[in-house]
Amino acid sequence: MAVIDTKVSDESLVAVTLAFVKAHFLLVAFSAVIVRALYRRYVSPIRDIPGPWLASCSRLWKVWSTYNGHTELDHIALHKKYGPIVRTAPSEVSFGSPNAAKDIFAVGKGFHKTKFYSVFPPKHAPDIFTEVRESKHAQMKRYAVTPYSLAQMQKRSEPIEGMIKLLMEHLEKYAATDSKRLCNLGNLLHYFAFDVLGEVAFSRRFGFLEAEEDVEGSIKNIDDVQWYDGIVGHIPEFDVFLRNNPLRPYLPFWKPQPTTMTKIAIQELEKRKQPDGTYDSSGIDLLAELLRAHEANPEKFGVNDVFSIAHGAVFAGSDSTASTMQSFFYLLLNSPHAYAILQREIDEAQKAGQLSPIVTYAEAQKLEYFQACLKEAMRLRPAVGLGIYRRVPPEGAEIDGRFYPGGVEVAVNGWVLHRNRAVFGDDIDTYRPERWFERDAKLMASHMYQFGGGSHLCIGRNLALFEMNKVLIQILREYDITLAHPGRPLQYHSTFFVVQEGLEVYLRKRVA
């Protein structure tokens, strides 16, 4: 009986296979891509969920949608076409149901951030937004909650009000003459938002509003960074070949240049360092409070944590607040009926002596129609255009009545959630503040995700609301505002935040 040498046979088979691959490399590579795509589409546990064909077998749909700059509109269209549950990637599901969002963001359910957030800078020191390790995120947030609280923001009223006064001085220049002088209100609000963060975080203005320009192109730089983050975040494994390529520091033509805000953050931290290695933590700004938290818990809350949180506050808080204020004025001024009602409410409060020279947060809260106008702006045009991404815990979880296995990535988009007819009414695409008096306001508020949700609710929301409640009313009280281009849509694109431009107006001083 013949004995077959299986070792030789196996080696021959490997040799033949390698020879075939070498001779037909392109064919083999193409076949592997096709097989992998078909496997992802038809073998996945979410294969029955409808969505674009490309999205079911590749992440290219998400990359392309983000690259085009209006992924929020793409998601609205998808959910209109396919319903409340849409497959947006081989292992990702997008939900348009408020109940699903509640399940995903419920505290203690084990839904953690995906690798999407891992590409956001600073890479060496993730902040609260970009930290994907849940335990580290919780630890950082524990020490940052108090500095970001509404009570602490109220203690910083003086520097914030100083910035409001400076903004009003600049607006006055556009209303001082009889001839109409075009005012780019959108840009001024953007500069204002950045400079407020400089005061709050470091007791130092960045100088945008004073110069009425993007100093050193810093705002554009942040926009470019976020454009990269939004795209590459969907394919994070490619980040090591791109921005975080280990060769980059050695290539002079590819070295990253720090923004004005980053340079100031580094300078301020270094300036507060004492000869003995400790830090001067006196003061009321965010950096000082975070340094005090570091002093009390140096092992759990390091200097890198202090820097990343203070630095991240500027990057995350400025664009989002500016975008919301721009949307507020754009929507309000394109709604003459709502604008007239709000002006009347502010005038009546002013005549009744209910408004201080610089409006307080408490006074603003009592202006019910103003609050409805602001909520409606945040409903219709939330500042975050991309989705909020989470991963189903290893043991799996039930979302809106259906079980999903561990590892599936899930997402919600505020632009989609805020257009749920059952919650917000049939006229979901219309700016109508009255809905906040006609419908269940508490229910609607519980389904608003402009600041995220659950344990990852945006830590900077108190500052954003405090700032907007003061400055928006201040502007409306002082000026009659007319759009230079009524009905013309704002130009905008979604990188991560919705970055807008084109809010041009004419101002006229109001007569008390």
Contact indicator for 431, 380 with CB cutoff of 8 Å = yes
Please identify which residue in the block is written with the tokens 């980059």. Answer: 248
Sign of CA dihedral 344, 347, 352, 358: positive
H or E segment and range at residue 506: strand 504-509
Q: Is 353 left (phi over 0), alpha (psi -120 to 50) or beta?
A: left
Identify any residues that bridge with 499 across adjacent strands, giving them in sequence order. 493
What is the Cβ-side half-sphere exposure of residue 307, based on CA atoms within 13 angstroms?
23
Identify any residues that bridge with 480 across adjacent strands, giving them in sequence order. 508
Identify any residues that bridge with 493 across adjacent strands, giving them in sequence order. 499
CB proximity list for 161: less than 8 A, separation 6 or greater: 358, 470
What is the rounded distance in angstroms from the CA atom of residue 161 to the CA atom of residue 191? Answer: 15
CA distances from 118 to 105, 114, 234, 432 (A): 19, 8, 10, 38
Please identify which residue in the block is written with the tokens 């899930």. Answer: 410
- DSSP string computed for 462-499: HHHHHHHHHHHHHHHHHEEEEESSTTPPPEEEESSBEE
92-95 β-sheet, strand order: 85-89, 92-95, 409-412, 388-391, 112-113
- DSSP string computed for 26-70: HHHHHHHHHHHHHHHHHHSTTTTS---HHHHH-THHHHHHHHTT-
- Using CA atoms in the order 418, 422, 425, 429, what is the torsion angle rounded to 10 degrees? 40
CA distances from 414 to 162, 324, 466, 510, 512 (A): 33, 13, 22, 36, 39
**Is residue 373 part of an annotated ligand binding site?**
no
Which residues contribute to the annotated binding site for heme? 458
Which residues contribute to the annotated binding site? 458
